[in-house]
Amino acid sequence: MNTVGRYVASPKELVRAADRLSFLYLDRCVVNRDSNAITATDERGTVHIPAAAVGVLLLGPGTTVTHQAIMLMSDSGSTVVWVGEQGVRYYAHGVSLARSARLLTAQAEAVTNSRSRLRVARAMYEMRFPDEDVSGLTMQQLRGREGARVRRVYREHSERTGVEWTSRSYDVDDWEAGDEVNQALSAANAALYGVVHSVIVALGCSPALGFVHTGHHRSFVYDIADLYKAELTIPVAFDIAAGSGEDIAGEARRRIRDALHNGKLLQRCARDIQRLLLDADPESVGSEEYFEVDVISLWDERQGEVPGGVSYGGVL
């Protein structure tokens, strides 16, 4: 107990990240606390969820959360992210799930070194286009290759659906100026960005430190989201345009919501980020503990780091 009688879990008591429920989505309920469990209550009753077993709690529309519930989630090493329906659209987040800066440090180190930054960029393109060898390409060549591949994807779906495609265009100040497929693409991509943003902050990474995109506070969000557009948002947008629905934006959000939910993109996205930043083998990602708890070290220009919590007063 601390001085106000509040229970705070010690590092040894916390459930390993690999053993937690990675993401738990709740909507249209009241989220409260009962001892060391969070509760979700609606007209059907109350469900108890052990707080320490949850990695990220996604709060969707219609949720009301108490101060006690948020306090318990923080003490348990979990994070809370406020999102749109079914995890689509990111609004805000609480503390990160990560209790160490391992992924954030790896991200910062990789993005500030030209060689490692190019390595990550190449790995991203390899994940998007696994049938191509990009190991020796420069960034200029990668951009050219990517542009040609994406144009081909647009052309294929245009032929598949019979929807005419000219170019990607979107005016943020004039939504109606775009044709139906461009409107659907914009709405679908916005939904995808929200989900990816949620995963990035839950893992303790920086949304701003991108490898392909740069200079924007969501650069890394756009990097990761690009991994999934060819298989998710582009085909969905052409399908919607082919249907000539009235609520294009709403239909795009709903279809992307269902596709992301059914395809378990949250778990896949988390694994992809770890694989990229830690340069890990795809089969080994998730088998190690990437979220060490409460490890505090001190930086040293010679040794890299030294243990914290040690008196160095005699070292001059």
**96 lies in some domain:** no
Is 279 labeled as ligand-binding? Answer: no
Please tell me the total count of domains within the chain. 2
- pLDDT score, position 7: 45
Domain shared by 69 and 143, yes or no: no
Give the model confidence (pLDDT) of 273-283 as tens digits.
999 999 766 55
Residues 168, 35 share a domain: no
Q: Tell me: do 112 and 231 sit in the same domain.
A: yes
Q: Are residues 144 and 56 in the same domain?
A: no
Average pLDDT, integer, range 41-54 = 90
- The reply to whether 230 falls in a domain is yes
CATH number at residue 44: 3.100.10.20
Flag whether 1 is in a domain. Answer: no
Residue 205 domain boundaries: 102-278
Question: Is 125 in the same domain as 238?
Answer: yes
247 is an annotated ligand-binding site residue: no
The verdict on 79 and 106 lying in the same domain is: no
| 298 domain residue, yes or no | no
Residue 21 has pLDDT above 60, yes or no: no
What does pTM read for this prediction? 0.76
Residue 306 lies in a domain: no
Residue 217 forms part of a structural domain: yes
Place of tokens 């108490």: 66
266 and 160, same domain (yes or no) = yes
Residue 91 lies in a domain: no
159 among annotated binding-site residues: no
Q: Are residues 65 and 197 in the same domain?
A: no
Same domain, 110 and 72: no
41: in domain: yes
Does residue 244 share a domain with residue 215?
yes
Quote the pLDDT of residue 218.
92
Least confident of 2-6, 137-141, 277-281, 302-306: 2-6
Clarify whether residues 159 and 230 are in a common domain: yes
